[in-house]
Amino acid sequence: MKKIIVCSLLLVLASACGDSAAEQEKIELKSFKDKLSYTLGADHARAISESGDPNYDKYVIEEIVKGFQEGVKNDKAFDKDCKATMSSLFGQSGQEFNQKYANEGSNCIGKISGIFFASGWKQKNAMSRIDMKKVLIGFEHGLRKVDTLVPRTEQATMVQEFMADLNKLNGAAMMDKATNKKGVTVTKSGIVLETLKEGTGGKPSPGDDVLANYILMNSLGDTMQSSFEMTEKYKQPLQPFSLGEVVAGWQEGMPMMKKGGIYRLYIPYHLGWGEQGMFNPQTQTYEIQPYESIVFYIELLDYGKPGSLRKMK
């Protein structure tokens, strides 16, 4: 049963919905917030309407919109009944389609879509900047493939700029909070060093090689990279690296640390990956988004002159 539910959920996320063509609802988008909200709804819907699902025309758009509304309001809306419905809709193989459950299934698809929409933007502290009525209209237009109130090129630019603004705001909030922590060191450039455990050894110099365990997090506390995961889970040996080849925040912050110490290093975006962010071509996603401030948990294990640290095998 667990396998069926997992398969169903995956299909929900990848599925599309369709219905008979409907006229685009007449609406005026007077403000930037109106346009942005409409765009966010339409963009979210395209993950469904442009997924290429062969069952597209079998879903009921009205039901998916209703479900979306409920999912936005209630993060528990996709419940055990919905899981059972999806199993009935797609069958045990996850590849079937039972038209009898099209209405209920469409509603459940809407619910989980709404849950993901709300949770994502709540995490970014963005909900107060969004008009959900306009989101809903954009979402339905996106499902019906008539989301033309805002040109597609303008939509892409709008979402990109909105994300950048949120990253700046969330990063500034994180840096402000870190700056006001008791006992931290704040440099002129803006980085903040918090000592969790004072080291007993010396300090590395700029350009030295260092050996360190670290966890990289964004301003919202999400883990983006972890050397612990690489060594423990994937059995990759921990390797030293040069302070001359890391972001400016590390170049400045590491020489402030002592060997054997444990620290948190808060880095504003302009001393991290800046306006470009860190894009992973393998996953086609940003590990660090543009304008995103970051924080590292660091355990400084060793340091030495360039080439002096033996690479562990």
Residue type, 46: R
Across 129-133, average pLDDT: 97
**CA 108 – CA 112 distance, rounded (Å):** 6
Strand, helix or coil at 5? helix
Kindly tell me if the per-residue pLDDT of 67 is higher than 50: yes
Kindly tell me if the per-residue pLDDT of 25 is higher than 70: no
pLDDT at 11: 38
Across 15-22, average pLDDT: 37
Kindly tell me if the per-residue pLDDT of 1 is higher than 70: no
164 — pLDDT class (breaks 50, 70, 90): very high
Across 44-57, average pLDDT: 92
Strand, helix or coil at 146? coil
**CA 239 – CA 313 distance, rounded (Å):** 9
14 — pLDDT class (breaks 50, 70, 90): very low
Q: What percent of the chain shows pLDDT beyond 90?
A: 81
**CA 115 – CA 123 distance, rounded (Å):** 12
Read off the DSSP letter of residue 209. E
Strand, helix or coil at 59? coil
CA triple 296-166-279, angle to 5 deg: 55
Residues in the chain: 313
For residues 97 and 57, the answer to whether their CB atoms sit within 8 Å is no
pLDDT at 310: 63
Of 24-38, 126-140, 147-161, minimum mean pLDDT range? 24-38
Domain boundaries, the chain: 2-150, 169-304
Across 173-191, b (16+ Cβ under 10 Å) vs e yields: ebbeebeeeeeeeeeeebb
For residues 175 and 269, the answer to whether their CB atoms sit within 8 Å is no
pLDDT at 224: 92
233 — pLDDT class (breaks 50, 70, 90): confident
Residue among 73, 100, 69, 76 at smallest CA distance from 87: 100
pLDDT at 19: 37
Look up the CATH architecture of domain 169-304. Answer: Roll (3.10)
Across 35-52, average pLDDT: 96
Q: What are 137-161's pLDDT values in tens digits?
A: 999 999 999 999 999 999 999 999 9
Q: What are 265-292's pLDDT values in tens digits?
A: 999 999 999 999 999 898 888 889 999 9
